Amino acid sequence: MGLLKELDQRSPEELGRELYDFAAKLFPICRSITGDGIRQTLTSIGTRLALRTVDVPTGTPVFDWIVPKEWNIRDAYIKKPGGKRVVDFKRCNLHVVSYSTPIHATMPFTELKRHLFTLPGNPDYIPYRTSYYREDWGFCLSHNQMMALEDCDYEVHIDSTLEDGRLTYGEYYLPGCSAEEILISCHVCHPSLANDNLSGLAVATALAQFLSGRELRYSCRFLFIPGTIGAITWLAQNRDTAGRVRNGLVLTCIGDAGGFHYKKSRRGNAEIDRAAAHVLHHHHEAGEILEFSPYGYDERQYCSPGFDLPVGCLMRSVWGTFPEYHTSADNLDFIQPLRLAESLRVCTAIFDVLENNRRYCNQNPYCEPQLGRRNLYQSTGGGEIPARLWVLNLSDGKHTLLDIAERSGIPFPAICDAADLLCQNGLLSILPDGSGLNNRPNVTSGK
């Protein structure tokens, strides 16, 4: 058991501050599913990871979809007579509906109003709206702001472009001993939204940095992609090799003060589902396991029936259930350094399970070996002896350490430590990857 123990050498305050500062640095960027905002974000991640960016031209068919036009925006405002900006993109990029077509016109309030979006239920919040697949324009503002507008003519200007270009995503690959992969995916297409978007991005980047340079059992692939169309594009480009994904996690909304939620993959009982449930079950914060549903984030694409990859989704507060979701209130006050640090710890604990979940063979299966003679029947009070007995009993070549942890109710790290010790004492031998396993995807070639 190495990863979490090593991460725990760092102070959570310092770790949290680093995660938070990275999110804060990226917060002002006006991201969308294409355009300079997402590229600027990927460039920033690229200063921390050897990120490969992939450009896919507008018009490229990707399964049932087509890579859209590229959207860029420089400025936007609504001016009242006299020239004062009453709504100003430069103050908050949520003010413009993402993918708004360009416009420069003067119009009466009654006409303008058809293009304004507010949240009457939360009258101080600016909503986040998009118009990706229908060419239109619009502004978002707080309901209070709209109520204060007078009935007069307004100058409306959106200095945007929507034209042929490219969709860009970032990919970071860490080769492991096996060609089978652990996939970490997060969307990086939302403008100034902290929990939904930047929390996942910050934690994924830090996790990738932490894992870099290590000898890993599995290869790891990190995707920083625009939501939905990015995952669809990646899957279309990697259709033949996507089966290498042995386990995967979508990371999103993991910086707020809410408890953890893990949404299972479509398979429901994949190794990742069991590993995440086990880690959350033994975690000091309350955690909840959610069944798979075909809506949410990019697990929808990874878990589409043609792929059916074992990819779940780790969140704190579940999208759509908190009032700040998709509004200006999902800002840098809504995420907290220590919550981000703890989310990185949970991801690392899940990685530890996946990396160490092996089968072993008891070398002394006829009755218990005499542990006392080997100084293995004493403990420091941490429940080591039950862990050793469970591991010895169930190490028949059929059970993995996670099977043993689940059945015994003992946390995985203790089971793993027991297996290490019993191996050192010649009582257990490790079974090589691939022997006697029956739940592995078919992998025919390396990278």
Q: Which residue is nearest to Zn ion (CB)?
A: 196
Q: How far is the CB of 326 from Zn ion (least distance, A)?
A: 6
For 43-197, strand residue ranges (E) read 52-57, 61-62, 65-66, 70-79, 85-88, 103-108, 116-117, 139-140, 153-163, 166-174, 178-187
**Tokens coding 78:** 């609504």
Q: Which is nearer to Zn ion, 258 or 411 (CB)?
A: 258
Query: Would you say the C-alpha torsion 195, 196, 197, 203 has a positive or negative sign?
Result: positive
Look-up of token digits 């006299």:
82
**Tokens coding 224:** 């920083």
Q: How many helices (H) and strands (E) does the chain have?
A: 13, 19
Q: How far is the CB of 196 from Zn ion (least distance, A)?
A: 4
DSSP string, 253-288: S-SSSSPEEEEPPTTSSSHHHHHHHHHHHTSSS-EE
Radius of gyration over every alpha carbon of the chain, rounded to an integer in angstroms: 25
Q: Give the three-class secondary structure for 404.
A: helix
Q: Which is nearer to Zn ion, 196 or 299 (CB)?
A: 196
Q: Binding to Zn ion (CB under 5 A): which residues in 39-68?
A: none
Q: Which is nearer to Zn ion, 196 or 271 (CB)?
A: 196
Q: How far is the CB of 320 from Zn ion (least distance, A)?
A: 9
Q: Which is nearer to Zn ion, 295 or 366 (CB)?
A: 295
The DSSP secondary-structure symbol of 29 reads: S
Q: Are 292 and 320 in contact (CB under 8 A)?
A: no
Q: Which is nearer to Zn ion, 203 or 391 (CB)?
A: 203
- Measured CA to CA, the distance from residue 100 to residue 58 in angstroms comes to 17
Amino acid identity for residue 431 in this structure? L
Q: How far is the CB of 156 from Zn ion (least distance, A)?
A: 26
Q: How far is the CB of 18 from Zn ion (least distance, A)?
A: 24
Q: How far is the CB of 180 from Zn ion (least distance, A)?
A: 30
Torsion of CA 336, 340, 341, 342, to 10 degrees: 100
| First-residue to last-residue Cα distance in the chain | 27
Q: How far is the CB of 330 from Zn ion (least distance, A)?
A: 9
Q: Which is nearer to Zn ion, 258 or 413 (CB)?
A: 258
Q: Which is nearer to Zn ion, 18 or 196 (CB)?
A: 196
Binding mask 139-178 for Zn ion (x = CB under 5 A): ----------------------------------------
- Measured CA to CA, the distance from residue 372 to residue 43 in angstroms comes to 58
Q: How far is the CB of 197 from Zn ion (least distance, A)?
A: 7
298 binds Zn ion (CB under 5 A): no
Q: Which is nearer to Zn ion, 196 or 384 (CB)?
A: 196
Amino acid identity for residue 219 in this structure? S
253 — alpha (psi -120 to 50), left (phi > 0) or beta?
left
- Measured CA to CA, the distance from residue 219 to residue 184 in angstroms comes to 11
Q: How far is the CB of 24 from Zn ion (least distance, A)?
A: 19
Binding mask 180-209 for Zn ion (x = CB under 5 A): ----------------x-------------
- Measured CA to CA, the distance from residue 334 to residue 203 in angstroms comes to 16
Q: Of 78, 191, 74, 87, which is closest to residue 129 (Cα–Cα)?
A: 191
Q: How far is the CB of 186 from Zn ion (least distance, A)?
A: 11
Q: Which is nearer to Zn ion, 225 or 270 (CB)?
A: 225
Q: Which is nearer to Zn ion, 176 or 191 (CB)?
A: 191
Count of positions on this chain that bind Zn ion (CB under 5 A): 1
List residues near Zn ion by CB under 5 A: 196
